Amino acid sequence: MKRYNHILILIAAVAGVQVLTAVLGKQFYLTQLTMTAYYCIAIVGLTLLMGFAGQISLGHAGFFAIGGYTSAVLTTLDLSQFKDSSIVSLLAKLFIVTSRQDLYGGQVLSFNPWAAFIIAIGLTLVIAYIIGIPVLKLKGHYLAMATLGFGTIIYSIVLGTQRFGAADGISSVPAFTLLPGLAVSGNTEFRVRNYYLAWTLVIGVMVLLINLINSRVGRALRAIHGAEDAAGAMGVDTARFKLNTFILSAALASMAGVFLTHYNGGIGPSEASIMKSVRYVAIVSVGGMGSLWGTLIMSTTLTFLSLRGYFGTFDDAVFGAILIVIMLFSPQGILQFDVKALLKKLLRKKE
Amino acid sequence: MRIFKLLTVVVACFALFAAPVFAAETVKVGALLAVTGPASFLGAPEAKTLEMLVEEINAKGGINGKKIELIIKDTQASPEKAVSFAKQLIDEEKVFAIIGPSTSGETMQIKNIAEAGKTLLLSCAAAEVIVNPVAKYVFKTPQMDKHAVIRIFQQMKKMNISKIGVLSSNTGFGKAGKEQIEKIAPEHGIQILVNEVYDKAATDLTAEVTKVKAANVQAVINWSIEPAQAIVIKNIRQIGLTIPVFQSHGFGNINYVKAAGAAAEGVIFPAGRLLVADTLSDKNPQKAVLVDYKKKYEAKYKEDVSTFGGHGYDAMMILAKAVEKAGADKEKVRDTIETMKGFVGTAGVFNFSAEDHNGLDLNAFEMLTVKDGKFVVYEK
Amino acid sequence: MFLELFFQYLVAGLTYGTIYAIVGIGFNIVYNTTGIINFAQGEFVMLGGMIAVSLHSLLPLPIAIAAAVVLTMAIGALIEMTFIRWLVKPAVLRMIIITIGISILVREAALHLWGESVRSLPYFTGNEISAFSFGGVRVSPQVLWTLGICSVIVISLNLFFKYTMLGREMRACASNRDAAALCGIPTRNMVTLSFALAAGIGALAGAVVSPITQTSYSIGTGLAIKGFTVAILGGLGNSMAAVAAGFILGILESFSIWVMPTAYKDAIAITILLAMLFVRPSGLFGNKEAFRLKDF
């Protein structure tokens, strides 16, 4: 199974990095690596949409925010005062609403993170479906405009609504206990577990996507990317394939949003901003549009360096410079960067 | 195997950056400031102030012989970066204390992290939720929004104003002020007839102020901290509204007065005394501190001092004083700050207690106005 | 009172609209000769304002603005020559990413050059509080300046493209680059020229609106997004339609404030515009047939 070779390398790298940090006593790197992993899920999902179905989305941060905010709102919503109402007590019996202790020792009755997670994904699927039908009929710059508009609307709602914390965002989001002993939380003692959890998710998503693009669906998508009309003439239901891909990539972004929100213990409106969407699109491009692995490597490196703050006040400038350099000299993405060919070209010019 | 090659490069990069930073006997202070990005008008002067102070303290031989090592991280005002950097400073740099963040949103996101990491957090952001409920390790140096609001309402009472319009920007600062105005207004018999939130990056607000005009109010309060507040007052005067205009302490930056020109004349707002340091009477306890800071900052950076930089000044000086008194012991320093009384800073005179991690009262604000393009104390 | 308010909102909408329209025109000029959506267009507006303010401390106002326009045009041409000129038939997305990268770099350079503080030029006539009153509707003189100068820009652009040799050559480039090249038109120089022209228009607009909107290093991005919206909604390539779409967007935003909380201004305006786009995917004034044939 050749297609899994890279997966095996990834697994080895994930484990290797953890062992390395443990040996060097630099385990704190895992914090940013975990955050990076969640962003990678959103970005790899976008690669499927952009690189394989050929549809640009300048509003993907919107889906990330829908996931994160839905989960944050539901898990921090205090229903204690409605404890006796029939709906809330029914929800409590079904374990959809559970009681927990907040930081200051008070009892809070709020949605179980699992329930919130499912609601968040469900909501994303519905919104992606409703938005997707009209939006995906558009092409080129018009599609870019429509998705940009979607992103703007989500940002504007998040920033304008009191319930979403307006400019402050939502903080004190509780841990998300997946299984007993395994919780998504930023707590230092769970750092290693969370690192493996996040990267296991990334690996899972990669396996899913690799299988998808090597299946009938993947061939159909590539046909759509190459020549939509021809694909349609050959009997590919282009509208349906595009829509399903859009929904899948939205769901991945949303899932990433939920997990990162629980890991960070909060979310702010910057996660929904247009600049964030643009950043995702840019990373997919420099990773090499149609290359899941290229995107994964680029998004890991760029996000990690940015989250570590290596570039100080030059963070955006470095990002912009990397974009330009890769797009100018290696438009097929970082993995296709061919130094020899470039040198040859330059030398030949001189002659 | 291109991937393999790249992975090796990536891993090598990590190893390179992982090189340990060795430092002898220093007090490590981390700072999370929005030096660039949408809140840079807060973070940039704060960062400059901290750099200036640390340079000065170290030139004098440090605190009790220990030099300060300052690590400034630029959060660009985004919470996810603040979270990442806060963990970095606490787990990895093992800093003694953190100064910042500049905005309330970021501070709230890392409040729990500082608390769990048992690391002092001296926030430079204004919102009341930062210190209410009180968290053991979290303090803040800017004045309380509610005190600013009360000062404004007291002034309104003197002027017989009861029907007002409220404008605020969609930032943490605007939001916090708006909430306090809504909460406190009924206690002072003030009615809010129109209440609008506008975009922080707005370039023209004629439509918003038209809405205020239509509501027939007696005065308008604008609560924001970004350049848009200069646009607001221009637009108010342009559409012919002549009612008194009140601003928040976010107006305490002479650049906004310059930008608003003639429209800034007569604006009334509460602010710390830094802006009118030179005109204070010599008896004022703050005068010496204020004049000293203003002179040093303006000489070094060739730009006007702002109250925001002052919040950084207060945070650093409070920390330095506590370390001087209690030695480099986190718990002792925390206790020292909590019991600190009568500390004279740029924002006012701080009196901390276990219930009050801000330590400032109504008196920290002075009502100011603009006359001939300069800040002066409002007297009427 | 109702009518008075109506017109006051209308004036506000026109003010927003003019700014959007000018950025939208800049998008179209570059798009027409190159097929590129230049996301750095907003940065030209920023540069125009910032350079004019800096020069104004040394030079009288009109000369400072003229010099700012010339300098920004040079920067626009330089950007084209450095990053774009030598690319052979670049893909659309590649160009979008490159222009986004350029936009980020210009913005960051401005941040480190000018700092984060906000500047503005003085009002051309009158001051910050003066206003003309038209039957209760009050208009700042600077708004009239902006409307006037922007109309002049639009009209002279039209004349330029219709009646001058250079303008016709640029239009030939726009409709068919290969054919234009065959006719001996230096298409590459036309592309450089279109960047310079777009930069100049943006810079002039940036200087003229700076007393109203103020200028700081970060205003470019927001303007680029608005300008892109306007260019697309009008129908790509059609500058007059961009002006109309700019005014529609500005007026929609302004009137949405009348009935709804301001916080949702963008959401409301964009929702209405998207709805229009779904009904007419070729843009509000675009040609359906041409849209189908166009290569994106």
pLDDT digits (tens, 9 = 90+) for B168-207: 988 888 888 999 999 999 999 999 999 998 888 788 888 8
Q: Which two tokens stand for residue A118?
A: 């499912």
What are the domain boundaries of chain A? 2-350
N-terminal to C-terminal alpha carbon distance within chain B: 79
N-terminal to C-terminal alpha carbon distance within chain C: 49
The answer to whether the CB of B279 falls within 8 A of the CB of B366 is: no
Give the integer Cα–Cα distance in Å for C20 and C5.
Answer: 23
Q: Is C51 on the interface with A (CB under 8 A)?
A: no
pLDDT in tens, C1-55: 678 888 888 988 998 898 899 899 999 988 888 788 899 999 999 999 999 999 9
Band (B155; pLDDT cuts 50, 70, 90): very high
pLDDT in tens, B249-297: 988 888 888 888 889 999 999 998 998 988 888 888 899 999 999 999 9
Highest mean pLDDT among A4-18, A77-91, C90-104, C255-269: A4-18
Q: Which long-range contacts (CB under 8 A, 24 or more apart) does A196-200 make?
A: A196/A14, A196/A18, A198/A33, A198/A34, A198/A37, A198/A38, A198/A259, A198/A263, A199/A14, A199/A33, A199/A34, A199/A37
- For residue C296, the chain A residues in CB contact (below 8 A) are 139-141
Is A167's CB within 8 Å of B80's CB? no
What are the domain boundaries of chain C? 8-293
Domain C8-293, CATH = 1.10.3470
pLDDT at A315: 86
Band (B13; pLDDT cuts 50, 70, 90): very low
pTM: 0.89
Residue B8 has pLDDT above 70, yes or no: no
Q: Under DSSP, is residue A53 helix (H, G, I), strand (E, B) or coil?
A: coil
For chain B, give the percent of residues with pLDDT over 70.
93
Helix axes C219-234, A140-160, angle to 10 degrees: 130
Q: Is C257 on the interface with B (CB under 8 A)?
A: yes
**How high is the ipTM of this complex?**
0.88
Residue B53 has pLDDT above 90, yes or no: yes
Residue A191 corresponds to which amino acid? R
Q: Is C133 on the interface with B (CB under 8 A)?
A: yes
**Which residues are within 8 A (CB) of B352 and not within 5 positions of it... i.e. 6 or more apart?**
B139, B337, B338, B339, B340, B341, B343, B358, B359
B79 prior amide bond cis, ω within 30: no
Is A268's CB within 8 Å of B171's CB? no
- Across the range A209-225, mean pLDDT stands at 87
The answer to whether the CB of A335 falls within 8 A of the CB of A47 is: no
Chains within contact range of chain B (3+ C-beta pairs < 8 Å):
A, C
pLDDT in tens, C88-119: 777 777 888 899 999 999 999 999 899 888 88
Give the chain A residue whose CA is nearest to the CA of B94: A28
Is B127's CB within 8 Å of A166's CB? no
Give the chain A residue whose CA is nearest to the CA of B129: A168
B positions 50-79 inside 8 Å of A (CB): 73-74, 76-79
Chains within contact range of chain A (3+ C-beta pairs < 8 Å):
B, C
Q: Is A239 on the interface with C (CB under 8 A)?
A: no
Band (B124; pLDDT cuts 50, 70, 90): very high
- For residue B231, the chain C residues in CB contact (below 8 A) are 212-214
- Which of B197, B238, B256 lies closest to C140 in CB terms? B238
Q: What element of type H or E holds B98? A: strand B97-99
Interface A-C: count of C-beta contacts within 8 A? 116
Q: Which two tokens stand for residue A302?
A: 């760029």
If you search the block for the tokens 């848009």, which residue do you land on?
B228
Is B112's CB within 8 Å of A270's CB? no
The answer to whether the CB of A277 falls within 8 A of the CB of A61 is: yes
Residue A26 has pLDDT above 80, yes or no: yes
Q: Under DSSP, is residue B74 helix (H, G, I), strand (E, B) or coil?
A: strand
Give the integer Cα–Cα distance in Å for A21 and A186.
Answer: 18
pLDDT at C43: 95
CA C76 to chain centre: 14
Nearest CA to B17 out of B7, B27, B9 is that of B9
Give the integer Cα–Cα distance in Å for A52 and A60.
Answer: 16
Strand order across the beta sheet in which B163-169 lies: B191-198, B163-169, B219-223, B245-247, B268-271, B366-371, B374-377
The answer to whether the CB of B366 falls within 8 A of the CB of B377 is: yes
Q: What is the per-residue DSSP string for C162-190?
A: HHSHHHHHHHHHHH-HHHHHHTT--HHHH
**Which residues are within 8 A (CB) of B34 and not within 5 positions of it... i.e. 6 or more apart?**
B40, B42, B43, B74, B75, B76, B77, B101, B102, B103, B106
Count of Cβ atoms closer than 10 Å to residue B345 Cβ: 26
pLDDT at B3: 52
Q: Is C262 on the interface with B (CB under 8 A)?
A: yes
* CA–CA min distance A127, chain B (Å): 25
C-alpha distances (whole Å) from B22 to each of A305, B25, B69, B94, C283 are 22, 10, 11, 13, 61
Residue B346 has pLDDT above 80, yes or no: yes
The answer to whether the CB of B200 falls within 8 A of the CB of C98 is: no
Average pLDDT of chain C?
87
Q: Is C266 on the interface with B (CB under 8 A)?
A: yes
* CA–CA min distance A99, chain B (Å): 20
Q: What is the per-residue DSSP string for B242-292?
A: -S-EEE-GGG--HHHHHHHGGGGTT-EEEE-GGGGGGGS-TT-TTHHHHHH
Identify the residue among C37, C88, C92, C97 best suited for mutation to test binding to A, counting A beta carbons within 10 A and taking the highest.
C97
Q: Is the dihedral of CA C201, C207, C208, C213 positive or negative?
A: positive
Count of Cβ atoms closer than 10 Å to residue B30 Cβ: 24
The answer to whether the CB of A96 falls within 8 A of the CB of A109 is: no
Q: Is A319 on the interface with C (CB under 8 A)?
A: yes
C-alpha distances (whole Å) from A126 to each of A150, A239, A246, B56 are 14, 17, 12, 59
pLDDT at B16: 45
Band (B22; pLDDT cuts 50, 70, 90): very low
Q: Which two tokens stand for residue B22?
A: 């060795």
* CA–CA min distance C91, chain B (Å): 25
Identify the residue among B225, B233, B234, B254 best suited for mutation to test binding to C, counting C beta carbons within 10 A and taking the highest.
B234
Give the integer Cα–Cα distance in Å for A347 and A324.
Answer: 22
If you search the block for the tokens 């004098």, which residue do you land on?
B60
Average pLDDT of chain A?
88
How many alpha carbons fall within 13 Å on the CB side of residue A42?
Answer: 35
Helix axes C2-34, C141-163, angle to 10 degrees: 30
Band (C233; pLDDT cuts 50, 70, 90): confident
* CA–CA min distance B114, chain A (Å): 12
Interface B-C: count of C-beta contacts within 8 A? 116
B142 prior amide bond cis, ω within 30: no
Residue B211 has pLDDT above 80, yes or no: yes
The answer to whether the CB of C236 falls within 8 A of the CB of C31 is: yes
Nearest CA to C197 out of C29, C27, C28, C24 is that of C29
Structural domains in chain B, CATH included, are: 27-143+293-361 (3.40.50.2300), 145-271 (3.40.50.2300)
